[in-house]
Amino acid sequence: MSGAQRERMLSSKLQAPTAPRHFLVRERLLDRLDQAEEPLLVISAAMGYGKTVLLTHYTKRHPEQCVWYHVGESDNDIMVFSRYLWAAVSRAAPELEFDLSPYLTLQQDEELVRNLALDFAVVLRGRKGERLNLILDNFQVIQNEWIFLFLNLLLDSRPRGLRLILATKSAPPAFCARYLLEGSALVLGAESLAFDLEEVEQLIAADTAPDRLAATAQALQNRMEGWPAGLCFTILYARQTRLRVDQLDLDQACQQPYLRDYIMHELFRKLPFDLQQFLVCTSVLEYLRPDVCNALLGIDNAAGQLAYLEQENLFILRLSGGPIYRYHSLFRDFLDSRLKPGQRAALLAQAADFYLRTPDKAQAAEYAIACGDGERLQRALEDAGREALFRGELSTVRRWLEELRAIGAPLTPEMCLLKGQYLEQVGDQTGALALTEELIDGYPDRTGERCLLEAKLLRAQLARELGSAAESLGLVEELLPRMRHRLPHSPLRRQAWELRLYNRLDLYPADEVLRQVLEELESSGARRDPLERSWCREQAVICCFAMGEYRRAMQMYVLLRGEGDRAGAAVAPYIQFYLALSGRPGPARARMGKAVEEMPDWVYHQTMQDIVLIQAIVEQIARMEGGDAEPPVQTFWDSGVLRGGSSSRFQGAFPVLCRALLQQPMAAETEEALFTLERRKIPAMLDGVRWLAVRQCARRGAYARALELCRRTRPEREDWHNGRGWGNAFLAFLDLEEALLLREEDRAGALALVRRCGTYLRENGLVCPGLTAGERGALQELERGAEPAGGEEPGLFVKCFGPFRVLLPDGQELHWRTRKTQELFAYLFHLEGAWVDREKLMDMLWPQSPAAKATSLLHTSLYNIRKSLAPYGLEGIILREKKRYRLDLERVRSDREAVEALFRGEETDEPEGFCEGAYLEDVESVWAEDRRTWYAGQFLRYHRERAQRWMEQEDYARAAECLRAAIRQEPYDEELACQLLRCYGALGEVKSAMSLYNRLKEALKEDLGAEPGEEVTRVYQECLLRRLGSGRSS
């Protein structure tokens, strides 16, 4: 529960009344309460039997053991009731923490109540101290069956030292019957609460002659039958009339059916007129505050009036914690009966108007209902209804809407919207959609700008819940520009941003979503708007987590936290998740509750299922690391939350994941269901639960089953390592698990698994949790064996002649995500390790793009290169210094070195594919042309010289090979053709000579409109004649 929510609660409900002065302390009843061992105590009697006074004295006797909750009519809502009850408990046990937020958007049914009560009881078990008395005063107003079930389950769970004390004016509630039959409940009724003779004597001793004390006490006891209120009224009346009690005409004054009206009338009539008016007019208020009373009566001395009434003990109770009071119910009923026709409704309307001017619009709504004013009720519900929905008080919202319908006032657009939001919360998406579309299309003139935008946002939310993320995204994209100008600081704009992100993640790969977010971060709008900048960075953190780039996410989070204390609250649970994965699950578990509590309501609503699973996985990791032996707690997300949240990604997967996380050990059918789920939309969560299944099998010695489950995840892991999908910590953990399981029978395979995931784990600071000491030692041994021999770091091999290719350390070719990514790497390679400015890179590669977009494209391309090389420990091969970049050539080999050595005349072997093509043949960029031309000239010179040397040595076959490579570059060079014809003639390859000459002739004619020259024709004819002469001689 957040601090703002706690402040909105009526604290007066949780404050025990101060013990009234001059009231008899009933020691016999207090001793009976102390001695009672039953977990349920019901104090049941009509008005005036001193139930509240007795419990007030008991609370004063044991202030550390008692918590107080004065129940009201508006508390007939399980969420309202549980919220107040926990607030009361937290006063006596501040060390306890309980998070109600997961229940706020759920349908109120038996499953929710059962899980809520069980969670409540589990938390109470951690309380320090022997006894805790939960005092529920005025309990007769509760009629909600879910509240009865909640208390029933709470009692059945038997938290240590818990005792429930109900004070009610009616008979004990039906749920108490079983405990009465079992003997585990104690009822103090009217007979027990009635004054005995000794107490009556103590009560009247100061107002009775000593010689008449016994007789008067007996007479009062006979007349009043021990009714405490009647006795107190009699004594008060005696004091007002300045008579001793023994002088009163008891036969007339002490008849019980008429006592209340008689005494009240006599007391009231003697008060000053202005005080009478104050009492009558303020009787419409449930709680008396000086500012409310002043506004109601148009006075400025209400505080003094209330203090006087308290001093004179005129049936007013002061609540601890501030100047807040309430009337005794008997006295309030009497005052209410003195209101003139129409006066009550007018006063209630004034009270509603007062609260409409304050943040407490819920109280305004209650007073508007009491006076039957539909217009005031709708004004109050514009704010109170939305707040109640966010707090999950669905029964309260339903009651307000029903009261509004009963009043018969025509609904405003705001109330139509509230009803649509309520229907969406209770799971009636179809009804909510129909109502929202009617509001948008049917009442455009009546709907204000904010209401219309909120209705359209609700329609987008409903479209996503109904499975159409694309439609929802389109609606949100249409809304955001209007919200930026019309509602720049409204929470609605934040909601729209979050909805757009999760729609994108449902529809597109995480890297594409990250690219879009970074583009928005670099846009002029985000630079001018700090809110938008902060939201973009939060969303970038979420995208990085979705991509398994945890270290990058942490860097962005650090930047985000620099923008203010509240910045980053939306992603704080993800940071604790990383903390658990990096070897610190204990602190992560301790901080997770606060992190979730501080999340914005709308963000939590959008990501509830993700956050629930994150919490559960962190809890399991912490339990494994801490060696906890107890089974996991059956928490709220086991069943009630299955219908909560709005993520369409999980669909039917969520119940399977929850069962898998709860079962210890995991059942075989659950394992099968877990490993057959579709992974596309929920990779990280599913991989996490699958890894936990493998880890559980390994911990209990089921190694064959663990290996079988590991192998079923191989396709996903292979896709990740081959650049066809995103990785995460759990895929790397699965690599380690399989390596540990294979280390005996396939050591080479185990080393390969450790080698390919090791760099990713080190770069992201991840530690596989839950390993035993033996497994840690075996893993360290495998890691040492996986290191490169001689300490040499593995590198890349670049083939830059012919098609541009980059070979990875394992011999596989690197696949590029985009052509621009390939061109960026080729350009850095082309610079031979020289630094290049970021602006030059952007101008070179994206000359037509705006600066913001070019920056985003550059960052995305660099990220894609690093991600592809990360499994081989080469993600740092592109060095960065301020705004400059260069390629680390110490980790790159290429065919360029060998080619240039040949050009320098060094004796070395020609590289493989030496004659396959031009420099960076398939990179179509202007920057490569000069170097490509230079290399072409060097190739031509080299092949000419080599051919001439071979011809001088009469090695015509090698000479012909060099000349063919040269002609591929210069097909119109007749000098080269002459030399190659001479080689063919010497080798007797007439057909090759004929083919070469015909190709040259066709090329010259078609491309240049010329014929072969005299020299080449002569050499060709000599070749033919030599062949003919050879044929005749033979």
Cβ(870)–Cβ(759) under 8 Å? yes
Please report which confidence band the pLDDT of residue 762 belongs to, taking 50, 70 and 90 as the band edges: confident
What are φ and ψ of residue 989, in 5° steps? -95, 75
pLDDT tier at 602, thresholds 50, 70, 90: low
pLDDT range class, residue 579, cuts 50, 70, 90: confident
- Regarding beta strands 185-188 and 162-168, do their DSSP bridges make them parallel or antiparallel, or are they unpaired? unpaired
- Between 320 and 475, the higher pLDDT residue: 475
Phi, psi of 658, deg, nearest 5: -65, -45
Question: Per-residue pLDDT averaged across 213-239, rounded?
Answer: 76
Question: Quick one: 358-517 is in which CATH superfamily?
Answer: Tetratricopeptide repeat domain (1.25.40.10)
Rounded CA-CA distance 537/555 in Å is 10
pLDDT band, very low/low/confident/very high, at 40 (cuts 50, 70, 90): very high
| Residue 136 reports pLDDT greater than 60 | yes
Q: For residues 202 and 195, is the Cβ–Cβ distance under 8 A?
A: no
How does DSSP assign 331-387, residue by residue? HHHHHHHTPPTTHHHHHHHHHHHHHHTSS-HHHHHHHHHHHT-HHHHHHHHHHHHHH
Per-residue confidence (pLDDT) for residue 241, from 0 to 100: 67
Q: What pLDDT does 640 receive?
A: 37
For residue 1, is pLDDT > 50?
no
Angle of CA points 230, 235, 237, to nearest 5°? 90
Within this chain, domains 358-517 and 796-897 share the same CATH topology: no
State yes or no: pLDDT of 266 exceeds 80.
no
Residue 847, helix vs strand vs coil: coil
pLDDT for the residue numbered 364:
92
| Across 171-175, 195-199, 267-271, 743-747, least confident range | 267-271
pLDDT digits (tens, 9 = 90+) for 493-503: 888 888 888 88
- CA distance to 675, 677, 711, 939, per residue, from 718 (Å): 16, 18, 11, 41
Which pLDDT score, from 0 to 100, does residue 565 have? 57
Indicate whether 872 pLDDT > 60: yes
Q: Note the Cα 224 to chain centre separation in Å.
A: 62
CA–CA separation, 146 and 107 (whole Å): 12
d(C-alpha 104, C-alpha 102), whole Å: 6
Neighbours of 171 (CB within 10 A): 12
Task: Name the amino acid, one letter, at 523.
Answer: S
As assigned by CATH, the class of the 796-897 domain is mainly alpha
Burial-class residue 699 by CB neighbours within 10 Å (0-12, 13-18, 19+).
middle
Beta bridge partners of 17: 319
What CA–CA distance (Å, rounded) separates 774 from 626?
17
Residue 906 or 456, more confident: 456
Distance, in Å, from the CA atom of 322 to the CA atom of 332, rounded to the nearest integer, reads: 21
Quick one: pLDDT at residue 41?
94
- How high is the pLDDT of residue 644? 40
pLDDT of residue 636: 38
pLDDT for position 633? 42
pLDDT class of 745 with cuts at 50, 70, 90: confident
Q: According to the model, what pLDDT value does residue 806 have?
A: 92
* Comparison of pLDDT for 206 and 356, the residue scoring more: 356
Q: Give residue 926's pLDDT band: very low, low, confident or very high (50, 70, 90).
A: confident
CA distance 371 to 348: 6
- Work out the average pLDDT over 43-59: 86
For the segment 442-455, the average pLDDT, to the nearest whole number, is 73
Burial class (CB in 10 A: 0-12, 13-18, 19+), 619: buried
Task: Please check the confidence at residue 245 and state whether its pLDDT lies above 90.
Answer: no
Look at 50-54, 235-239, 562-566 and tell me which has the smallest mean pLDDT: 562-566
Q: Hey, is 107 helix, strand or coil?
A: coil
Check whether 646 has a pLDDT greater than 60: no
Q: Give pLDDT tens digits for 469-517.
A: 899 999 989 888 888 877 777 778 888 888 888 888 888 888 888 888 8
Report how far apart, in Å, the C-alpha atoms of 956 and of each of 949, 953, 1029 are: 10, 8, 21
In terms of pLDDT, which residue wins out, 264 or 208? 208
Report strand pairing: 316-319 vs 324-327.
Answer: antiparallel
CATH code of domain 221-228+243-355: 1.10.10
Looking at residue 22, what is its pLDDT?
Answer: 66
Least confident of 102-106, 384-388, 841-845: 102-106
Out of 1.25.40.10, 3.90.1150.10, 3.40.630.30, 3.40.50.1000, which CATH number does the structure's domain 927-1033 have? 1.25.40.10
Whether pLDDT at 447 is above 50: yes
pLDDT tens for each residue of 554-574: 877 877 776 665 677 888 888
Task: Tell me the pTM.
Answer: 0.61
- Residue 807 has φ and ψ, to the nearest 5°, of -100, 130
The beta strand positions in 738-870, using DSSP E, are 796-799, 805-807, 836-837
Q: What is the distance between the alpha carbons of residues 141 and 13, in angstroms, rounded to a whole number?
A: 14
Averaged over 908-917, what is the pLDDT? 67
**980 pLDDT exceeds 60?**
yes
Sign of CA dihedral 416, 417, 419, 423: positive
The DSSP call for residue 1005 is: I
Q: Which CATH superfamily is domain 3-193 in?
A: P-loop containing nucleotide triphosphate hydrolases (3.40.50.300)
DSSP lists the bridge partners of residue 894 as 798
- Of 455, 484, 459, which is closest to residue 471 (Cα–Cα)? 459
CA distances, 256 to each of 189, 279, 1018 (Å): 18, 24, 145
How far apart are alpha carbons 797 and 429 in whole angstroms?
A: 57
Confidence of residue 635 (pLDDT cuts 50, 70, 90): very low
- Main-chain dihedrals φ then ψ at residue 874, nearest 5 degrees: -115, 15
User: Angle at CA 476, nearest 5°, toward 475 and 480?
Assistant: 125
Average pLDDT over every residue of 439-466 = 80
Q: Which of 332, 42, 46 is nearest to 170 (CA)?
A: 46
pLDDT digits 0-9 by tens, 727-741: 788 888 999 999 999
13 and 363 in contact (C-beta within 8 Å)?
no
Hey, where are the domains in the chain?
A: 3-193, 221-228+243-355, 358-517, 683-717+727-787, 796-897, 927-1033
Please, which pLDDT band fits residue 874 given cuts at 50, 70 and 90? Answer: confident
Give 638 or 55, the one with higher predicted confidence. Answer: 55
Q: What angle do CA 323, 327, 331 make, to 5 degrees?
A: 155
pLDDT band at 351 (very low <50, low <70, confident <90, very high): very high
| Mean predicted lDDT score pLDDT of the chain | 81
Q: What whole-number percentage of the chain has pLDDT above 70?
A: 87
Return the closest-CA partner of residue 654 out of 635, 633, 632, 673: 673
Q: Assess whether pLDDT exceeds 80 at residue 1027.
A: no
